[in-house]
């Protein structure tokens, strides 16, 4: 029962003795940790059928007999906790409310996989091993990026993923809300963004080279109340939701809704529709004052919905062809005294860096925002490898490491022909487990700018929740351990031990209803025979 994922700092087992929870076991919490107590009571009452009534606190240093108690301990670090199960009682001490919640998640793992179910199966014996566990997170940013733009994930699916993240002690949900293929958040002052931009007439099935199409409309969006619900649900689980509105590229859905946002002196933007294929489109935002004002309006509404410190503006894969051809864009370059189109993009991103900073927020973008000069105060999501993150950290900017060669979970998990829609490099469970977020090229001072790490799930070839589950798990469990635990150097990590612990963890994922990739390969219904992917040959580039 101590096969925990992610691995804690230390585990001390006290023989074979157990604490058996029963009808008289109480659950109580001291000041400042009540939200974790409420979550734990609701979750365990449903799974165990036990009443877990409110109890009285125990004496200093220990819980009351036959009780589970959560208690604040200012000596423990932020996010950290210590669990003591001895003498028919369990005490969870924590440095802050987040630590209490993480400790509660670990306690659920100790109870076994049936504790992850939503209803009681009739089991009568619920046992906690006598154990002492000390734990604290390595990184402050332990993220998952969900691309809900390419294939929309309904609200209930997002809430489900927040629960899966919480179970793995991940604490940042990066929601990729807009792209060429769809706009997924209601903006009340610009209703056509969802009336027009939230759906496409059909969808390419497989990679863009595939001849297959799903000939039916695809779409959906979150109302502002949906977003409020998602953000509140996440906050109860100590997860921050970071929104992404992609500018100035990846914007065809917005231009289809409001053609004046595009480069109207180059193309007839009124003929554009929400894109139904994959790849990078040449249709990008025009660098005009009216475009800036439009997106300021978008961000004004977003800031009311998302309290996160960071707001992601994309900034990646912005093709400059239209700007090169546009007399208006070229005039803007001359007016601003810029050298080229790269500096024009940097000016665009810099505008929103200043705008967000003036409102107490921070801009973060993909590592292309380094090109043409990095905006003051901006943080970088380093996706094309380690180099963007290294350059940003050396320049004194904060970094989230998410190199595609290691933690893009849309990349295939095996080289076998049975893998559904094979994309990118082969990234096995072991490859993800041996990922190291802090490159050795950074000095100790520079490494302090690595806020943490993030796994990214791009959904071009993930048409439903089952496909997302298949690509994300079990690799997200390995990633969660990399992000949370203080592991040795990559080649010194005990992957065999991790695989052993995963044997127990698969039962938890089964209880949670996760359609993960089995270690033996895809189940028949998880395959997509005949659907073209984009496999890349050879090993991924080194860091």
DSSP assignment letter at 8: P
Cα separation, 448 vs 444, whole angstroms: 7
Which residues are identified as catalytic? 179, 250, 317
Cα separation, 31 vs 379, whole angstroms: 35
Residue 365, strand partner residues: 380
- Strand blocks (E) in 42-136: 53-54, 67-72, 81-85, 90-94, 126-135
Cα separation, 265 vs 275, whole angstroms: 21
SS3 41: helix
Cα–Cα nearest to 128, from 45, 2, 18, 24: 18
Cα–Cα nearest to 46, from 121, 100, 157, 129: 121
In what helix (H) or strand (E) does residue 303 lie, and over which residues does it extend?
helix 289-305
> Could you tell me the CA-to-CA distances from 118 to 43, 113, 114 in Å, in that order?
7, 11, 9
Q: Which residues are within 8 A (CB) of 165 and not within 5 positions of it... i.e. 6 or more apart?
A: 144, 171, 173, 237, 239
């Amino acid at each position: 029962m101590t096969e925990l994922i992610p691995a804690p700092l230390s585990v001390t087992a006290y023989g074979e003795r157990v604490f058996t929870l029963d009808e008289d076991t109480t659950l109580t919490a001291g000041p400042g940790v009540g939200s974790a107590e409420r979550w734990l009571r609701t979750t365990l009452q449903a799974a165990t059928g036990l009443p877990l009534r409110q109890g009285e606190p125990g004496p200093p240093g220990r819980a009351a007999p036959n009780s589970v108690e959560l208690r604040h301990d200012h000596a423990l670090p932020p996010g950290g906790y210590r669990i003591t199960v001895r003498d028919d009682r369990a005490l969870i001490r924590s440095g802050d409310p987040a630590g209490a919640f993480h400790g509660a998640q670990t306690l659920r793992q100790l109870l076994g996989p049936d504790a992850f179910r939503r209803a009681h199966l009739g089991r009568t014996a619920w046992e906690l091993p006598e154990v002492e566990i000390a734990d604290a997170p390595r990184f402050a940013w332990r993220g998952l990026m969900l691309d809900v733009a390419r294939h929309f994930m309904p609200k209930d699916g997002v809430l489900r993923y927040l629960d899966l993240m919480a179970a793995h002690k991940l604490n940042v949900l990066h929601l990729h809300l807009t792209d060429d293929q769809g706009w997924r958040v209601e903006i009340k002052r610009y209703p056509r963004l969802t009336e027009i931009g939230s759906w496409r007439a059909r969808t390419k099935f497989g990679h863009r080279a595939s001849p297959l199409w799903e000939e039916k409309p695809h779409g959906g969006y979150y109302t502002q109340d949906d977003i409020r619900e998602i953000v509140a649900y996440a906050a109860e689980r100590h997860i921050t939701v970071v929104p992404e509105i992609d500018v100035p590229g990846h914007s065809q859905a917005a231009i289809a809704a409001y053609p004046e946002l595009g480069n109207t002196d180059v193309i007839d933007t009124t003929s554009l529709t929400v894109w139904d294929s994959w790849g990078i489109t040449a249709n990008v935002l025009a660098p005009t004052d009216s475009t800036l004002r439009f997106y300021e309006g978008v961000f004004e509404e977003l800031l009311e919905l998302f309290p996160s410190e960071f707001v992601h503006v994309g900034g990646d894969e912005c093709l400059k062809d239209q700007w090169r051809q546009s007399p208006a864009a070229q005039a803007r370059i001359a007016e601003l005294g810029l050298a080229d189109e790269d500096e024009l993009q940097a000016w665009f991103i810099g505008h929103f860096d200043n705008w967000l900073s003036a409102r107490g927020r921070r801009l973060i973008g993909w590592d292309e925002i380094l090109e043409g000069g990095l905006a003051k105060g901006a943080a970088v999501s380093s996706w094309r490898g380690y180099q963007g993150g290294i350059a940003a950290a050396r320049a004194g900017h904060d970094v989230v490491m998410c190199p595609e060669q290691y933690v893009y979970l849309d990349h295939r998990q095996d080289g076998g022909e049975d893998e559904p829609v094979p994309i990118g490099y082969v990234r096995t469970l072991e490859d993800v487990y041996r990922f190291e977020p802090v490159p050795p090229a950074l000095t100790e001072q520079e490494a302090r700018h690595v806020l943490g790490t993030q796994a990214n799930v791009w959904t071009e070839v993930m048409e439903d929740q089952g496909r997302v589950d298949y690509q994300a798990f079990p690799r997200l469990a390995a990633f969660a351990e990399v992000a949370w635990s203080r592991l040795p150097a990559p080649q010194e990590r005990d992957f065999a031990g991790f695989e052993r612990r995963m044997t127990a963890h698969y039962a938890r994922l089964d209880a949670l209803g996760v359609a993960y990739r089995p270690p033996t390969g895809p189940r028949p219904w998880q395959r997509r025979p005949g659907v073209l992917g984009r496999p890349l040959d050879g090993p991924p580039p080194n860091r």
